[in-house]
């Protein structure tokens, strides 16, 4: 059933995970007392013996997941992204990635979603951290359908994955039947003057910005870069050959999606870029939506950045 | 008592064979560290008897099928004692003498800390401390989900227990009642810089493990017979994981290395190696 109403990607995540677990007994869920916030209640009800709650202990969360994988399980390891990645980064590096364990790390409520709770709970470094680690696949789904596709693709591949799942409701941005493939960026809008590259909750805002730019007479393409690593070099190079690039991320601009795109652009086809995101600061107090406004991570903010870039003011 | 004496007597040839194996592990570790000009000989020597007993008798593992799903798992959490682990794997037929000669050489499979993807018989990529026990808890949980009877053994250092991740895993293992999990603490009393008790004290260590819900036994970590009896007798109680606190001497077996913190990662000179091998009676091995 297709709907245009915004929805929380955690619902699609949980539904996809339960469906996969029905078919594959190797799949287990591991959580750090986050069964509610990771939306694992249905999984727990259906598979009580396949959900491991290690309590509030993220280092153990990730180490236990490596051990489960070492004995043939496929753990989907869930926790608030700020704690999962920040608290357990050495375990992610050594126990999961370097050890090449088949663990799917699911960073929930990522980015600025926790708003008023403050910078301790914002997860705006997780992409930089995880994509720096060799062997990691890093995926940021943009809508519920892509979330479900990413869960299935992560389960189907043998190797460590970081899945970044938002709690902010997002409208569908993909047409039904448009299948998610790891490592393939999806062009959601064609355009000749500028390309907006985004991921996660920023994709719907990028599409809105493209509509506004059309009213300005600017033809903007929108690329959904849902796989940050391995990155789709060809799609980015192709965009660069057509014109300048604006990147938009719910993340610090140091080391995340914008940096990843820039690494390709400078080696494949240098063009001018604008990197929108959190500019290397801890966010002030405010709701998530307030913070998006504050940092210009809005359709209007994207429009202004793209227009300046096209007019040579970038 | 008569029964125990009889059992001990019957065990004597096995104990002697394992003691000889431990001497060879010590000698091989020192040779490897000497050749590589790098390593952790103090911790290699304190763990040698434990490794000899585990790999020589306790672990149900098969060098012809090192990834058999029903094998016992051994995780060296104190991954810096890699030379001793590799020497024990050589004794168990997983590695050759020629393999040991490549220790830490460029492109060798034998890194300074073990890599499960390169070395058969290695179960975890340890090195950063406090990682082995959480991984072992996950392995033991998977075994329990399958209703399997294979066991998971972990060897930790003692200074390593200052890492908080261990205590997360210790709490969880007791909560989950992982009776097929056994941790052996190489309680040699020294960490890199000083005595554990002068750094951040661990005692009363047995009481800590008991308070966290584990069955605890303290043994002489250099008494092969005692290690054999203990490690073949786990779990000590049904429904609880087992902690074996093995009282050891860092550098055990070589007089001038024993109980000296600087031998944590000191490298023996040619003369020191020769003297050490003489003390071990392994000059020709």
Helix residue ranges per DSSP H, chain A: 9-23, 41-46, 58-70, 81-87, 89-91, 126-131, 144-156, 202-215, 233-242, 257-268, 288-294, 299-310
DSSP state of B165: H
Measured between beta carbons, the chain B residues lying within 8 angstroms of A91 are: 131, 134, 165
Give the per-residue pLDDT at A15: 96
What was the pLDDT predicted at A177?
Answer: 76
How many CA atoms within 13 Å lie on the side-chain side of B221? 30
Chain B contact for A72 (CB, 8 A cutoff): yes
Contacts 24+ apart (CB under 8 A), B270-277: B270/B34, B273/B30, B273/B31, B273/B34, B276/B27, B276/B30, B277/B27, B277/B30, B277/B31
- What span, in angstroms and rounded, lies between the C-alpha atoms of B245 and A67? 23
Predicted complex ipTM = 0.94
Residue with tokens 């915004």: A6
Q: How far is A239 from chain B (nearest CA, A)?
A: 39
The answer to whether B191 and B199 have CB atoms below 8 angstroms apart is yes
Q: Which residue of A has its CA nearest to B118?
A: A99
**Which pLDDT score is estimated for A187?**
96
Nearest to B19 by CA among B253, B283, B258: B253
The one-character DSSP state at A253 is S
- CB contact set of B38 (below 8 Å; sequence gap of 6+): B104, B112, B265, B267
Catalytic residues of A: 58
Residues of chain A with confidence (pLDDT) below 50: 1
Do A51 and A144 contact (CB within 8 A), yes or no?
Answer: no
- Torsional sign, CA A179, A180, A184, A189: positive
- Copy the structure tokens of residue B244: 């074996």
The per-residue pLDDT for A237 is: 98
Q: At what angle are helices B2-36 and B270-280 packed, to 10 degrees?
A: 160
CA distance linking residue B35 with residue B100, whole number of Å: 10
Neighbour count for residue B174 (Cβ, 10 Å):
21
Q: What is the largest CA-CA distance in chain B?
A: 56
Residues B172/B141, Cβ–Cβ less than 8 Å: no
Note whether A67 contacts B: Cβ–Cβ < 8 A: yes
Computed over every residue of chain A, the mean pLDDT equals 96
Among chain A residues, the shortest Cα distance to B68 is held by A71
Token pair in block for residue B4: 């125990």
pLDDT at A178: 81
Whether residue A166 contacts residue A226, with contact meaning beta carbons closer than 8 Å, is answered with no
d(CA A240, CA A229): 19
Looking at residue B7, what is its pLDDT?
A: 65
Nearest to A67 among B130, B142, B164 (CB): B142
Minimal C-alpha gap between A104 and chain B (Å):
15
Query: Could you tell me which chain B residue has the CA closest to the CA of A70?
Result: B139
In which residue ranges of chain B is pLDDT below 50? none
Question: Would an 8 Å CB–CB cutoff place B139 in contact with chain A?
Answer: yes
């Amino acid at each position: 059933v297709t709907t245009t109403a915004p929805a929380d990607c955690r619902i699609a995540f949980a539904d996809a995970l339960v469906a996969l677990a029905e078919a594959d007994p190797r799949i287990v869920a591991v959580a750090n007392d986050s069964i509610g916030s990771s939306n694992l209640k249905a999984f727990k009800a259906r598979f009580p013996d396949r959900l491991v709650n290690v309590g509030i202990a993220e280092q153990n969360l990730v180490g236990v997941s490596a051990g489960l994988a070492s004995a043939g399980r496929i753990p989907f390891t869930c926790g608030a992204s700020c704690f999962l990645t920040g608290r357990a980064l050495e375990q992610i590096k050594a126990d999961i990635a370097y050890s090449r364990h088949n663990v799917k790390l699911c960073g929930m409520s990522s980015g600025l979603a926790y708003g008023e709770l403050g910078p301790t709970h914002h997860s705006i470094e997780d992409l930089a951290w995880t994509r720096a680690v060799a062997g990691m696949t890093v995926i940021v789904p943009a809508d519920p359908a892509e979330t479900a596709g990413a869960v299935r693709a992560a389960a189907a591949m043998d190797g460590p994955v970081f899945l970044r799942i938002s709690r902010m409701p997002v409208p569908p941005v993909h047409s039904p039947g448009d299948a998610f493939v790891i490592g393939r960026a999806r062009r959601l809008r064609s355009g000749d003057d500028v390309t907006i590259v985004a991921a996660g909750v920023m994709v719907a805002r990028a599409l809105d910005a493209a509509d506004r730019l059309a009213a300005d007479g600017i033809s903007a393409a929108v690329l959904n870069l849902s796989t940050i690593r391995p990155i789709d070099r060809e799609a980015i190079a192709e965009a660069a050959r057509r014109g300048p690039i604006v990147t938009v991320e719910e993340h610090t601009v140091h080391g995340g999606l914008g940096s990843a795109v820039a690494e390709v652009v400078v080696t494949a086809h240098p063009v001018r870029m604008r990197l929108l995101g959190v500019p290397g600061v801890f966010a002030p107090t405010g709701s998530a939506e307030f913070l998006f406004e504050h940092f210009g991570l809005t359709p209007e903010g994207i429009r202004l950045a793209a227009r300046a870039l096209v007019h040579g003011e970038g | 008592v008569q029964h125990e004496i009889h059992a001990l007597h019957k065990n004597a040839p096995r104990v002697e064979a394992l003691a000889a194996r431990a001497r060879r592990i010590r000698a091989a570790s020192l040779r490897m560290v000497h050749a590589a000009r790098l390593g952790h000989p103090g911790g290699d020597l304190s763990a040698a008897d434990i490794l000899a007993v585990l790999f020589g008798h306790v672990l149900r593992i098969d060098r012809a099928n090192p990834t058999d799903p029903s094998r016992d798992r051994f995780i060296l959490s104190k991954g810096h004692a890699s030379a001793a682990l590799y020497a024990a794997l050589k004794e168990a037929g997983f590695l050759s003498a020629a393999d040991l000669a490549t220790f830490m050489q460029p492109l060798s499979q034998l890194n300074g800390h073990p890599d499960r993807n390169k070395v058969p018989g290695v179960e975890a990529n340890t090195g950063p401390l406090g990682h082995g026990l959480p991984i072992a808890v996950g392995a033991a949980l998977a075994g329990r989900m399958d209703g399997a009877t294979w066991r998971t053994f972990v060897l930790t250092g003692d200074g390593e227990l200052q890492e908080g991740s261990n205590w997360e895993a210790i709490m969880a293992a007791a909560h989950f009642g992982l009776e097929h999990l056994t941790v052996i603490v190489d309680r040699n009393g020294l960490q890199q810089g000083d005595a554990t008790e002068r750094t951040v004290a661990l005692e009363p260590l047995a009481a800590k493990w008991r308070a966290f819900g584990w069955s605890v036994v303290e043994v002489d970590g250099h008494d092969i017979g005692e290690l054999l009896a203990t490690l073949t007798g786990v779990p000590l109680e049904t429904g609880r994981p087992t902690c074996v606190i093995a009282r050891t001497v860092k550098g055990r077996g070589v007089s001038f290395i024993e109980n000296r913190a600087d031998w944590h990662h000191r490298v023996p000179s040619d003369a020191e190696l020769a003297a050490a091998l003489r003390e071990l009676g392994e000059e020709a091995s």
